[in-house]
Each structure stands twice: as C-alpha cells, then as structure tokens.
Amino acid sequence: MEDTEIIDLLFKRDQSAVAELCGKYCRLLKKLSLNILDSASDAEECVNDTLLALWNSIPPNNPDDLRAYSCRIVRNLSLKRLEFNLAKKRSRNSSVSFDSEIALMIPDSVSLEEFRRIDLKIAIDRFLEDVDPTARAVFVKRYFMFERISEISEDTGFSQSKIKSMLSRTRDRLRKYLEQEGETL
C-alpha cells in the first residue's frame, strides 16, 4: 500500500492503517531501534510505541515522508528508552562509541547550551545542505540511524576506511561550522 493511502486510513481513523504501517515499516523501525538498544524486547516496545505515536499524531500531522517521519519517532523513543535503561543501570549498552564520535563535533569555543533548540536544528540542516549528498547520507546513517561502520560499508559498497574518513571530515566541518554559527549568536 502506498504511504498516501496509509495516511488516508489514519485520517479516517481506520485501525487497519496500523497493520499496514507495521507490515511496511516495522522491520526497518526495529532495526533502527536495535542499533540504539541492546534488547530485542525493548526495541519491540519502542516500535509499538512508535505505532501508537503515529496513530496519535496523524492527524493533525500529515507528513510528506511517512517512512522518515516514522524513523524519527522510533529513534527518539529508543534514545529515551536507552537513557532510562542507563539511569536504572539496566543496560551496558555500547553507545559509548557513538558518544565519543559525537563529542568530536562539539565546538571548543562555543557551548551548545547557548543555542536555542530551533537554532541548532536550522544550523545542522543548513550545514547538511552543503555537504556532498553521499557524505551526507553516510553521516545521517551513522548519527541519525546509529548504523555501524560495517553496515554502512556493506550498504554503500565503500570500504570501512573510506566511510571513517568521510565521517571524520564531515565531523570536522560540522564542528567548525557550529563554532562559526555560535559566534554569531
């Protein structure tokens, strides 16, 4: 079923929309959630919560891209779940590797806390607009979808070292960009 048809069903409050949604995207959503969480059952819960969130948010929302919209929701729910698990010491998740990489993008001279959330979103989107499309997709796969280097390598056909190199360059550029943006605040 096309995404527009699923959205139509959601607008009509037809519960078959959820089954259609799950049939089409649950596998993708679970994979994304498992990239963040180390528990299949937690990932299942996040996917279920995502379906509920989609049911509750459409309408009034009418996303242009249902797949990306769903991915965003499951990512954010999974991160919240991870935070909860770590706070309760229920998980020894390996997200440390992502944290160390994300730290490399934080400017030295500017505190990100000074950015308003909307400013930071605009700054990142504006930065990504000028990044080469392939490098941008690799960046999004790593830091939005939390995919492993080996997965991205398999998906794209690039060597792992090339992927690391692309990410390293994009990280450096983003850090410099945020430094400059921060100075104009």
Partner 1 sequence: MKNKNADGIPILKEAFGEIDEEYISEALELSSPRRKERTVNKKKLFIIPLAAAILLAALSVSAVAAVASLADSETAEKVILAAEDYIVMNADQSEKEDLGRAVISDLGYDREVMESEADFGFSGLRPIYNVSVKLGGYSYLLVMDAATKKVLSCERNADESWEEHVKEEREKRNSELPFEISDKPNPDSALGDLTADEAADILLDYLINDGCGFENYSLGSEINYLTDPATVYISLGHGGYIYHALIDTVSGEIVKYRAEEMTEDSSLKTEDYDKDYHLHVHADSREYISRIEAKKAVAAKVGINAYDEGYWIVCSMTKVPIAESGIKSFNGVSVSETGLEDIGEYYSCEVYSKSADGTKLEYLAFVDAKTGDVRSAFKSKGSLTEWERLKE
| Beta carbon nearer to partner 1, 13 or 108 | 108
CA distance 133 to 153: 16
Phi/psi at 157 (5° precision): 85, 0
Neighbouring residues of 27: CB distance < 8 A, sequence distance ≥ 6: none
| Beta carbon nearer to partner 1, 9 or 73 | 73
CA distance 130 to 126: 7
Q: What angle do CA 22, 143, 106 make, to 5 degrees?
A: 150
Q: How far is the CB of 179 from partner 1 (least distance, A)?
A: 6
| Beta carbon nearer to partner 1, 17 or 167 | 167
- CB–CB of 185/115 below 8 Å? yes
| Beta carbon nearer to partner 1, 56 or 160 | 160
Q: How far is the CB of 174 from partner 1 (least distance, A)?
A: 9
